[in-house]
Structure 1
């Protein structure tokens, strides 16, 4: 079966498929565009949620997925537009044939110019066909490029975290091997990128290619390029495909710049800033977080106007909070940090472990209450935070403080946390939220 590609019948089949491939391209593009548009919003919400919760691995994965979706949507929409133009040109050719410049009765100067620049109608149709086929193929190739870049960044992060930054490893392994391996990855990435943009210059030089080959071999595995390498070399030996693939890169950069543009209406006023005595950010008020892509920014209270004689305060949980708890109470720091990717599959139940975990959770909450402080108008209030879920079912810490003694009008809630630097204790502001108290 592996030798079938050498048979003439297989080559005839490929030629027939090439002639009919435009139908498959349109079908795949249509379904893909629909699916990508459906998936884009949930993925972008996941990006914002993981960024808000400081989940670095989820953020990277979802960001790569979002970028890949954006690339595919743009390329496939462009492909459908050009393929529609190609179909229209075929229909027009059936009706009117080729361009007859003599019937236009233009002057000799314009006739010669149009013959040279526009050419025949068949050439125009062939050019459109080439554009459509190459754009369709390169759409999926670019996804692999994005994936390759992501895998390299992840490799650098893993080396820095689990080898260089691992205090349990001996120095010769963490520093000697770790730093050497990191430098190899970084310089290998630079060489691979240089070889890519120069269209294989390092592979063409006899003595350099011998040095570059081990790097090429390692990065072919690291970036999974062995999956799409035939597609790459097929592009490189085609001048038209090579030109188009390099033309798309600046187009993506222009689109990125255009989408980042926004119109400012003021030199001083801005909606994207933290709450303060002169600004109330909607992400600090639960009743104003009504969009799927909006999340609590650190701390939230029920509303700007408080009518009850108590105030609910919710602090959104992040991994940084747990790291601070470990810094202040080293007894809570486990021997093995289980944060990160894990599975819910368990074999058996260790009831003794569950009891220990419950007592440690109580100590965890106690330490949290010692670290965080609640003040209203610079007056400290007793806080007793407990674990709770927010309006998005997100994990956090919740408490209620009595405010019936407050006067009517505007007040400032200040949530701060303890900070120790070189045995000097200070309080670091976490949130400063304005609210108005008007009891019923």
Structure 2
């Protein structure tokens, strides 16, 4: 039988590993910064795909997923940059200690004795200051992964519940997906809220509470919520909670979130996740009194998804202009809700029915969009088109020069997409010259 490893040797190995961990942290942190900075791009691609291919019911749920994923990405970005900067500072201070091992020179005449003593009291010696930064770096490193895993776990849980809600909706389409989703989510979150309530000092020492608090509410429910991340998330957070005072830990988390929120807002806005919100999509860029860059192809930004009707430019010269009418899945769903689906003719072949359904869909699209040029209704010929920007599906049509006048013109588009009984409107002003 093998003899156990002496406790002294195990402790020495652990202390040696802790002492050398900074180099591994620095390498991992540097690589993680590079990787984390790529994540917003991947998130944007996921969001763009969702905006083009999901209906409002699904997007309402995906909006929550986007929020949690953005938080996870933001936390990784902020924490790894902070860790890299502080760990680099720590390495610099190690080098500085080899030059000035005593740290602040108490014999210096640069300040008064009282001033230097107060400096020494506040900052301590160089070794103590290094240890303070070292501890902070280690906390940040563990904290970043812990909180990122929390938000990622919640995002996965929300996606899973959304999948279950969608599956139930397929069996009975009279039941809205959102209603099923939030009902299941409430059932999942209820034990978690009960877990927090039973942790109150007046309740947690009761015998019946102790029988269910940890084994049922904590281990059982938390494993469902945090699944594969359960052990690292709860172990790391339990270390923090049991080693910091509750007030201190809560204030630290609130301060940290205040630091993260501005970065989160920037990433969230740039990713266009806000368009998953039905009200925002409905109201965005619907004012008649201003120009919006998103209505003009020559002002389209990098990684910007086309969500509104678009013309080539705000200044048009020549014989007319193209008009692109995007039709994401949320609008296509509304089109089918209003006009129904094409009824297949059993006397026709599959290919003939396909051709008929395409013609039918094009006809319904002509009804779905109401177009006016300078106040006069225009009924154009619409053709299906995938825009070269991000392959957005929609319809392309042409506005002839005969409808345009010298100077300022306005194209008005109203679709059957509705929120609170109001139809979505869009105004595209432009200057026209026939020269």
Aligned to 1:82: 86
Aligned to 2:327: 317
- Provide the C-alpha distance between the structure 2 equivalents of 1:17 and 1:4, rounded to a whole number of angstroms: 20
Aligned residues: 400
Aligned to 1:253: 258
Give the 3-state SS of the residue equivalent to 1:314 in structure 2: strand
Distance 1:278 1:34, change over 3 A: same
Give the 3-state SS of the residue equivalent to 1:407 in structure 2: coil
Give the 3-state SS of the residue equivalent to 2:325 in structure 1: strand
Aligned to 1:414: 412
Question: Shift in Å at residue 28 of structure 1?
Answer: 1.0
Matches within 5 A, 1:90-105: 90-99=94-103, 102-104=106-108
Conserved? CA contact 1:326–1:332, under 8 Å: no
Aligned to 2:383: 386
Give the 3-state SS of the residue equivalent to 1:428 in structure 2: strand
Matches within 5 A, 1:124-143: 124-143=129-148
Give the 3-state SS of the residue equivalent to 1:313 in structure 2: strand
Which residues of structure 2 form unaligned runs of 5+? 267-282
Question: Shift in Å at residue 12 of structure 1?
Answer: 4.3
Give 1 or 2: higher helix fraction.
2
Q: Deviations over 1:213-246 (max 9, x none)?
A: 4332123222224241333333334349995786
- Verify: 1:363 aligned to 2:368, yes or no: no
Conserved? CA contact 1:409–1:437, under 8 Å: yes
1:123 maps to which of 110, 121, 128: 128
Question: Shift in Å at residue 140 of structure 1?
Answer: 1.0
1:307 maps to which of 300, 312, 317: 317
- Provide the C-alpha distance between the structure 2 equivalents of 1:273 and 1:226, rounded to a whole number of angstroms: 40
1:279 maps to which of 261, 280, 290: 290
For the aligned residue pairs, the C-alpha RMSD in angstroms reads: 4.3
Aligned to 2:76: 72
Aligned to 2:276: none
Aligned to 2:26: 26
Distance 1:112 1:419, change over 3 A: closer
Question: Shift in Å at residue 287 of structure 1?
Answer: 1.9
Conserved? CA contact 1:312–1:401, under 8 Å: yes
Distance 1:91 1:256, change over 3 A: same
Conserved? CA contact 2:286–2:425, under 8 Å: no
Q: TM-score, normalised by structure 2?
A: 0.75
Q: TM-score, normalised by structure 1?
A: 0.74
Q: Deviations over 1:50-70 (max 9, x none)?
A: 575474377665654443332
Conserved? CA contact 1:51–1:59, under 8 Å: no
Conserved? CA contact 1:325–1:364, under 8 Å: no
